Chains A and B, each alone.
Chain A
Amino acid sequence: MIVASPKSITELKSLITRHNRVLFVGCGTCVTVCLAGGEREVGIASYAIRMARKLDCEPLELTQMTIERQCENEFIKDLAEAAAKVDAIVSFGCGVGVQAIAERFPSKPVYAGLNTQFMGTLEEQAVWTEKCLGCGDCMLAQFGGICPVTRCAKRLLNGPCGGSSETHCEVDPDRPCAWQLIYARLKAIDQLDQLDAIVPAKDWSTSWHAGARKVVRKEHRV
């Protein structure tokens, strides 16, 4: 899922400083699961902003609404009625949600209420780690299902750097060395021979370096 984290109350307040009627929109998908932009988090942010604006003696009419998914027009259209009554919208979705709402309501200022972080997984309660970079050319099959492109600080494809200590990365002692994990995993599934192959330099043309990408699936087009 996409993992995000909340912006500070000070930053949120400054985003809407020029508006008096604002809509806070939560998203019921990834950011609800990562406890950043669901119905509850939008409610808590609303309380904080109401207090902050009241202290500044600036009137604020704040409406809250959470839709199932901010990245799909089918769900965004439910916001139309509420959006018509406000001066600005703050999206508590990921960056995709913010932009999707901005496209749907071109005459309204739409601000991001969260900092979108990465695609990751829940390790334990309230701890998430990055697992996928979205490079567009998945190499997980070669590495026992552990991605060195995302999880190795140096993105090495042909073995560890030699800087790791006690199975952990030299860049961050809390982070396991991806190559240590790859070795252990390949050994466990009896595929250590995969490491004999020399992996050529990665083709990054499938990644985001050339700008926003597009996926078209002809078989599903209507």
Chain B
Amino acid sequence: MMPATTPSATPFATPPLPWEPEIIAFCCNYCAYAAADLAGSKRMQYPANVRIIHAPCTGKIEMEHILDAFVKGIDGILVAGCLEGGCHFLEGNLRAHRRTDRIREMLAEIGVGEARLKMVNLSAAMAPTFVASVKEMVDTVRALGPSPLKEPQQLESEGTL
């Protein structure tokens, strides 16, 4: 008699983690990054889904940076710059706005969804606004679900490529 087949997975394999949105926040040095820093100093809680990238100015964030992140499967991107009229480089945030608007059009046309990219303006003192923006972005992306460009999650039990 043939022995009963054993399950291929080891009994110690961890079950796949439930999906959590992965969000990048591009923050300008003078306002948004300082606001995020202030939120930390004030012990304000915001979702851990966001990874902050420190940029000298939102005007330095090229369209390619954002598109590359989407191609690699990021679920959402928040671009956070100074208040309009408050850019330390005069109009970097206004240029960033035009670029993000264009990418939102592209994302809509491609079918990724324009809501996955958002730009907000805030000053260095607006830590609560930063926290609210991050929470709102996480809620938006959670409602949309994982990026359709995301690669299937590699399980630890499957080894590395």
Contacts and interface: CB of A to CB of B under 8 A. Distances in A.
Interface of A: 8-10, 40, 43-44, 47-48, 50-52, 54-55
A36 to B, nearest CB: 14
A13 B71 CA distance: 16
Given A9-B106, A44-B64, A52 B149 contact: no
Contacts of A51: 67, 70-71, 110, 112, 149
B48 interface: no
A55 B63 contact: no
Interface in B60-82: 63-64, 67-68, 70-71
B111 interface: yes
A9 B111 CA distance: 11
A55 B116 CA distance: 15
Contacts of A10: 109
Q: Is the interface of B mostly helix, strand, loop or mixed?
A: helix
B53 to A, nearest CB: 18
A44 B67 contact: yes
Given A10-B109, A48-B106, 9 more contacts: A9-B109, A44-B67, A47-B64, A51-B67, A51-B112, A51-B149, A54-B149, A55-B111, A55-B148
A50 B72 CA distance: 10
Nearest to A43: B64
Contacts of B110: 9, 48, 51-52, 55
A26 to B, nearest CB: 14
A10 B64 CA distance: 19
B67 A47 contact: yes
Contacts of A52: 110-111
A48 B149 contact: no
17 contacts: A8-B109, A9-B110, A40-B64, A43-B64, A44-B63, A47-B68, A48-B67, A48-B110, A50-B71, A51-B67, A51-B112, A51-B149, A52-B111, A54-B71, A54-B149, A55-B111, A55-B112
A59 B112 CA distance: 17
A10 B63 CA distance: 19
